[in-house]
Every structure is written in structure tokens, then in C-alpha cells.
Structure 1
Amino acid sequence: MVMLDMLVLLCGQTIAQLLGRLYYNSGGNSKWMATLTLSGGSPLLAILLLLTPPHSAGAGTQPPASKMVPIYVGLGILIGLDNLMYSYALQYLPVSTFALVAATQLGFNSITSHLINKQRFTALIANSVVVLTFSAALLGVGSSSDGTSSNLPHGKYTLGFILTLSASAVFALVLSLFEVTFEKVVRTRTFRWVLRVQMWTNIVASMASVCGLFASGEWRTIPEEMAAFKDGRARYVATLVGTAVSWQAVSVASLRLITRVSSLFANVTGTVALPLVPVFAVVLFGDKMSGIKAVAMLMAVWGFLSYVYQHYLDGRRAATTKEGAAECRVCAARAGGEAVLHA
């Protein structure tokens, strides 16, 4: 099941980022509409929730609504803010650069996991944080070599870079808060509760996006935007629906990995998509794979591998500890039996 969740997360994240860029490339311009697609597919989770058995094992724990409602609202607002920053950033950056800078969320998540979830901060994890930070800094310094940035108004590339970093930090915080919510409040990790938490937090984020859409006045431009969209209205709707469905698949798979393993593991899995998005962006959108971008990608992959190796070491250490504990119990049992026989 963990492998299945990882596959859904990888495929969904790659498709969602490419469709998000396709929306802007084909004539879409509404930031709030793009933001809404990041959480607007949440009503689909109600269908899965209805199909999930209500009396599964461990489902008896029911946290009071007085605790869950503030959590839903608080996390939902954070998710909505994070979605808005990502929407702006994706318009101001080539999708390949966006994907590489977004990989810094692994470094941010290492910090939030250590502070909030008591995750051990080892030398390998520190190396991952440093390398990913330098990777993002290299992209920022080398922005002038990216041919696609020359088409943007002055300062937009830098703004997109800053927004992506900020969104990555907020996303890392949200993942850690999800983990502590299941540990301290929900106290059960069933699929039904995963769907419930995901659905309500995304509904709050969607409501915030709808309010922004109407408050900004962008809702008036939607009919014109749809009519001017490349290849017509059907492709406009299909692009938005596909993006919304993909992000919901990513969210559910990520939350399931958080409940099964940890928020840091879920974030590392998402980082595996790092080499995929730039390659597809070069093929589909004509993004330039410059030397600086290639070096930054290799550095980001190295940062990811540092954490993977740390996870491998932790797994071996845990297995050794269990084996040692089992041997101690056997020895104690033998010693007890010999004492009885002697007596």
C-alpha cells in the first residue's frame, strides 16, 4: 500500500504541475481560478468517503468537533494561502525551474519535522537541507541564463522565485501539522479519517479561493478567458478538471504516507518527481535545460539521496534494535526456566 501511495503521489504531482503550466500557456490568466483547482476537487472525496466502511478497525475514536473544527479552519486557510503563492509562482517561472525550486520544501520539512514532530536531525539530513538550499540559490543567481524568463516583466522572475520558496516553507509546515494532528488529536490512522481530514481542510481552502475570485473581480473575466483559450472551451474545462483531480490524488496519497510513515517521508517521495517534471517540460513546453539548471537538478537529486540513505540507516537500526530485544526476551525466558529447574 505504501508503494501504491508513492506511485499515485509521483504520477499525480507530475501531471498536476504540467497541467497547471498548460493552463497559463494556453491563455489562462486567472490566479484565483488556478488556486481553486489546487483544492477545488475536494467534493470528489465525499464519494470515496461514502464508499468507505464506517466501522473499520480503529474507527471508534471520535475527537470532539470543538477540537477538529478549528484544525480544519486553520489548516484550510494555510493551504489556501499556500495554493495562491504556488499559482502566482507557476505563472512567473518556467515549470522546470518551478519544480526545482519547490524541491526546497524537503529542507524546510526537515526543520519543521525536527521542531514539531521530534524527527532526528542527523548529519545526512543537514547535508540534504544545505544542498537543496544551494540548488535553489543557484537557480536564483542564474535566472538571467533562462531564456523563458526574458519574456516576463522586470522583477517577475525574482517574485516567482521568492513565492515558490515561501510556498515550499508553508507546505512543509502544513505536512508537519497534519502529522501532529493525527498523532495528538485524531489518534487513529484509518483511510476514512484520512479522507475526512483532507476533504474538510480542502473545502475551507476552496471557500477562501472562491471568496478571492469574487473579491478580486476575476470572475467577470472567466467567460472571455474560456472563449479565448487555445483549442476552445472543452480544453479549458478539461485542463482545470484534470488539474483539480490530480491535486486531490496527490493530497490523499501524501496524507496516507504521513499517517503510515511520516511527513518527511511523504515530502521525500514528492521530491522524487523532481527529475521528471523538468524533462517533460523541455519536451512539452520547450523549456530550456541550461547548464545551471542541470547542475541545480543534480544537486537537488543529491540532497534527496542523502535523506533516502538516512532513512535506510534508520530502518536498519530499528530492525537491529528489534532483533536485540527479541534475543533478550529469549535469554530471559531461558534464564528463568533454568532457575526454576535448579530450584
Structure 2
Amino acid sequence: MAHVQEIQLQIRGAPDEESEHGRDGSKADTRRSTTRGSFLWWITVAVDMFMVLCGTTVATLLGRLYYNSGGNSKWMATLTQSGGSPLLLVPLLMTPAPPAEERRPAASKLWPIYAGIGVLIGFDNLMYSYALQYLPVSTFSLVAASQLAFNAITSRLINAQRFTALIANSVMVLTFSAALLGVGSSDDGDSSSGGAPHSKYPVGFLLVLAAFALILSLFEATFERVIRARTLRWVLAMQMNTNLVASAVSVAGLLASGDWRTIPAEMAAFRDGRARYVLTLAGTAVAWQAAAAGMVRLIARVSSLFANVTGTLALPLVPVFAVALFGDRMTGIKIVAMLMAVWGFLSYAYQHYVDGRRAENGKAECHVCAARGESDAVLPA
């Protein structure tokens, strides 16, 4: 009888040990796999999505307001997209210190990555500023969804992203919604383009489709292969350091281009005075950092493609506010494009729901098989 109990305890102990340390001996990996897709996990993802939605919407509208109110320095507009990064030092100092046994990549590996990605972010921010000036805010924000198709390619090549029918449908629908607006942009009657001629719209389209997709994939690859941790502390550190480099690029461009000499006159001529000029730039900087924080956290928690899909969900919100703030006209093409964008996101979200349900069913089957194995092991004795 004692021998039977010993066998039973050994069999029951094996699954527990594997669930504690994981198949590769990594306790953290197993803990992440058990919490991914849970209710708490979805709550944290929803918070990150909210940051992306609100931050992107406010930052895009304030960026358009800067140009419409008399701002003309593209390097200053570029600086606002990364210049708020020192604010991240406050939450970074408030996060708990990492445990002594936590693996920390060597600085010689991290700083070249920070520098490389930061330079890419700096130039991509400049292209974003050009595009925002050339395109109406409603058209620009939805056409930016075309980045998703490029991000799908880089995610597949760099991050080995798994594609299903639902994910492919999401990417295609969002891309078609952007193409639909591109076709109808010449007749949309938007007034928020800063008076840019329609001949410059294609330039804006090309500038929007820049290096953003590549940057997101590089973020995910860094978390996966170099840092190998997804904690809040690493997310904040990654965002702050890369944005500091991007800010340095923007300041260098501001000085080299001579735009810094025009800032006092631009501030004096700004609509409603200097205070509104400062508040507009400061609000833009804070909004971009909030959006970037949510974006990087989504990359760390889920994937770069999911983060980009979430960004496209923010795009239909912008035209609604642009109608009230800038006098844009809500055309039928934009309405159809917005519905397509929402449908594309829901398709991707449903794929994650299906994956979560399959994971739960797989765990339940494993528990049943383990229970059957225990009973079979006890009966012969």
C-alpha cells in the first residue's frame, strides 16, 4: 500500500514540477503562458489600448492645430513627438527595483539598439510631420492604416508572426479602407490640410508609409531576443532611451536647418498668442508619449502587429473630431472606410479570443489526461 501511494505521489508531482519550471526550465515563461488570455490580461491590454486611442487622437488633432494656427516648423513638430520622453523618468523611478537574479543585457548590446531605433524614430517622426501638413487630418489619419500591410510583412520576416485567415482578413480590410480614402481624397473637401495643393497628396501618402512598421517589429525583436523580459520597467526604459535619441536627432535638425531662428516670430504670430503656442506643443508632446507608452506595452504583451492594429482603431476617431474642430466634411467614403477599419480590428481581436479559448481547452485536456494517467498507474498496483 505504501508502495502504491509513493507511485501516486510521484506521478502527481511530475506535472506540478513542469508547470512550475516550464519545459525549458523557465518559470517566467510558464507563468506568462498561463496568464496570457486571462481576464486580468485582457484588462491590462484594454488599458494599453485606451492609452493608444486617446493619445493618438489628441496628438494628431493638436499637431493639425499647430499648423492651422500659424506653426510652420516641421522640426519643431517633429520634436514634440519624442520630446516628452523625460516625463517617463517619473514612472520609471516609481516602478519596483528588479530582483537581483533578473537577467540584465549588457549595456554594450542595448545602447547600439537604442541608438539605431532612436535614429529611425527621429526620421520617421519628421516624415510624419511632413505628411500631417500635406494631408487633411481626416484623410491622413485613415490612410496611415496602410502601414499595417507593411507591418504584416516585417512581422512575418523579423518576428515570425503566425498568420491565420482572420489576421489576413484584418490586414486586408484595413489596407483597403486606406486605399478607398486615397482614391476619394481629391474630392473630399477637407479644409484642414493647411492649404496644401492636391498634387502634394501623393507625397503625403508616401511619407506616411515610412519606417514605422519596421520600427515596431524591431521593438518586438529586442524584447524577444535581447532583453528577454516584458516588465513595465523595461518597457519604460526602452521607450525613454529610444525617444531621447530621437529627440537628439530632432534638435540637431532644428539647429542645422535654421528653424530655431524663426521660433520667436512663429510664437508671436501664433493664433491666440504665445501661451497657446506653448500649450499646444506641450500637449502634443504629452499625448504622443501616452500613445507611445501604450504602443510599446502592447508590443511587449502581445505583438507589434497587434499594436499597429490597435493604432488603426484610433484613426476613425480623428475624423469625428476633425469635423467639429477644423470644418472637415464627413463624406460617404470616409464613413465606409471607418466601418471597414472597425471591422478589420474586430477580426484581429476575435482571432486572439479564439486562441485563448483553444489554449484553455488544451489545458483542460492535459489535466484530464494527467488524471487518467494517475488512475491507470494506481490500479495495477
Q: What is the letter of the counterpart of residue 188 of structure 2?
A: D
- Following superposition, the deviation at residue 42 of structure 1 comes to 0.8
Aligned mates of 1:184, 1:11 — CA distance in 2: 30
The alignment partner of 2:65 has SS state of helix
- Structure 1 180/188 Cα, relative in aligned 2: closer, same or farther at 3 Å? same
Which 10-residue stretch deviates more, 272-281 or 27-36?
272-281
Say whether 1:152 aligns with 2:193: no
Superposition map of 1:134-173 within 5 A:
134-148=176-190, 151-164=195-208, 166-167=209-210, 170-173=211-214
1:119-169 Cα shifts (integer Å, max 9, x gaps): 2111222222222222222222222212237832352122112211x23xx
The alignment partner of 1:61 has SS state of coil
Which sections of structure 1, spanning at least 5 residues, go unmatched?
Answer: none
Aligned mates of 1:129, 1:270 — CA distance in 2: 13
Q: What is the letter of the counterpart of residue 275 of structure 2?
A: A
The alignment partner of 1:289 has SS state of coil
Of residues 203, 212, 229, the one that matches 2:253 is 212
Say whether 1:14 aligns with 2:75: no
Say whether 1:73 aligns with 2:115: yes
- Structure 1 23/134 Cα, relative in aligned 2: closer, same or farther at 3 Å? same
Of residues 358, 362, 369, the one that matches 1:321 is 362
Aligned mates of 2:124, 2:268 — CA distance in 1: 29
Aligned mates of 1:26, 1:145 — CA distance in 2: 24
Aligned mates of 1:53, 1:130 — CA distance in 2: 42
Q: What is the letter of the counterpart of residue 273 of structure 1?
A: A
- Structure 1 189/30 Cα, relative in aligned 2: closer, same or farther at 3 Å? same
1:197-255 Cα shifts (integer Å, max 9, x gaps): 11110011010111111111111111111000010000000000010011111111211
Aligned mates of 2:207, 2:100 — CA distance in 1: 40
> Residue 227 of structure 1 contacts residue 233 of structure 1 at CA under 8 Å; is this kept in 2?
yes
Of residues 266, 287, 293, the one that matches 1:252 is 293
Which sections of structure 2, spanning at least 5 residues, go unmatched?
Answer: 1-43
Aligned mates of 1:58, 1:264 — CA distance in 2: 33
Aligned residues: 336
Aligned to 1:121: 163
- Following superposition, the deviation at residue 2 of structure 1 comes to 2.5
Aligned mates of 2:341, 2:47 — CA distance in 1: 24
Which 10-residue stretch deviates more, 237-246 or 175-184?
175-184
Which 10-residue stretch deviates more, 150-159 or 203-212?
150-159
- Following superposition, the deviation at residue 309 of structure 1 comes to 2.1
- Following superposition, the deviation at residue 10 of structure 1 comes to 1.4
Q: What is the letter of the counterpart of residue 342 of structure 2?
A: V
Aligned to 2:145: 103
The alignment partner of 2:314 has SS state of coil
Q: What is the letter of the counterpart of residue 157 of structure 1?
A: Y
The alignment partner of 2:102 has SS state of coil
Superposition map of 1:276-315 within 5 A:
276-315=317-356
What RMSD over aligned residues (CA atoms) do the two structures have, in Å? 1.8
> Residue 171 of structure 2 contacts residue 344 of structure 2 at CA under 8 Å; is this kept in 1?
yes
Aligned mates of 2:160, 2:59 — CA distance in 1: 31
- Following superposition, the deviation at residue 58 of structure 1 comes to 8.2
Which is greater in Rg?
2
- Structure 1 58/263 Cα, relative in aligned 2: closer, same or farther at 3 Å? farther
TM-score by length of 2: 0.84
The runs of 4+ residues in structure 1 deviating greater than 6 Å are none
Of residues 272, 275, 279, the one that matches 2:313 is 272
- Following superposition, the deviation at residue 337 of structure 1 comes to 2.0
- Structure 1 269/134 Cα, relative in aligned 2: closer, same or farther at 3 Å? closer
